[in-house]
Structure 1
């Protein structure tokens, strides 16, 4: 009889622990996602070039081309920035340094493989990797906002490796 009561206590304890673990599951910061979507829909962000009136002095020697490159792609399951993307990231860092009132949002994205939680984390690590390059150059962290969409906003709806390559990215968006 004692063993039966002991087993019931263990079962009740495990059930309580399981329920407590489920209730503490964190959901992604919906306010950050809503703010980013509002920036797109209200014209508060622009992903195209800065325009000719920006006065940015790094246009010679391909500076404008580097500055307009704002999508950086990643390898599968990686948050390591490609060396080919670093000159464009540094050109954007120079712009931010010379325009301290400018702000950017770094949007991390993944392909649809993996769990939702893992992809949100990976997208954030990718965006933070780009943010790390910007801050290492001297850009104020107050000028940078990081948001991860994981696999919620796919660049390509297909399911081939070429489609997945387009999905694994960080997009640098200038905010007004």
Structure 2
């Protein structure tokens, strides 16, 4: 009898965890591939929109570049994006109430399952970088969309390159 109650409680807890893990604010925020802010929706991110409990006047200003890109089939952080990551780390350390969701993506090549894993590994690589810089792990969440929600439609190398990314969502 006691095991039955325990099993029901466990089932409810797991269901809630799955629902919480699957929730998303949707959308993406982009920057150019060279780490500079471009004509995409990443502009204006330093206006204070979308912060999670952080005060914009306190400490560092939120970085305007919120997307970093990866090489094909790689989760290795490219050197040209280290300054972007350092900026996010400084912002988060100066604003301990700020929380970020790292959204990992892959291009459409590969199976759906493989791409979900690759997106997660990319987001984890960014998380490791931020925590080594001193960001509290409690400020970071990870979600992988794999090949879903492409930033650019198409079957060209340009489209693939724009889709291999991690997006910072505050």
Query: TM exceeds 0.5?
Result: yes
CA contact (8 A) 2:59 2:94 kept: no
RMSD: 2.4
* CA displacement 1:46-82 (0-9 Å, x = unmatched): 96413277125556xxxx7xx1111000000000011
Q: What pairs with 1:85-104 in structure 2 (closer than 5 Å)? A: 85-104=81-100
Provide the residue aligned with 2:23 in structure 1: 35
From the CA coordinates, give the structure whose radius of gyration is larger.
1
Comparing both structures, which one devotes a greater share of its residues to helix? 1
TM-score (norm 2): 0.71
TM-score (norm 1): 0.69
Give the counterpart of 1:159 among 126, 137, 155: 155
The alpha-carbon distance between structure 1 residues 109 and 146, as it changes in their structure 2 partners (threshold 3 A), is same
- Return 5+ residue gaps in structure 1 as ranges: 1-28
The alpha-carbon distance between structure 1 residues 30 and 169, as it changes in their structure 2 partners (threshold 3 A), is farther
- Return 5+ residue gaps in structure 2 as ranges: 1-16, 28-40, 49-54
Could you tell me how far apart the structure 1 residues matched to 2:145 and 2:21 are?
Answer: 8
Aligned length: 134
Could you tell me how far apart the structure 2 residues matched to 1:40 and 1:93 are?
Answer: 23
SS at match of 1:113: coil
* CA displacement 1:14-57 (0-9 Å, x = unmatched): xxxxxxxxxxxxxxx96356411xx248xxxx964132771255
1:55 aligns with 2:57: yes
Could you tell me how far apart the structure 1 residues matched to 2:19 and 2:80 are?
Answer: 33
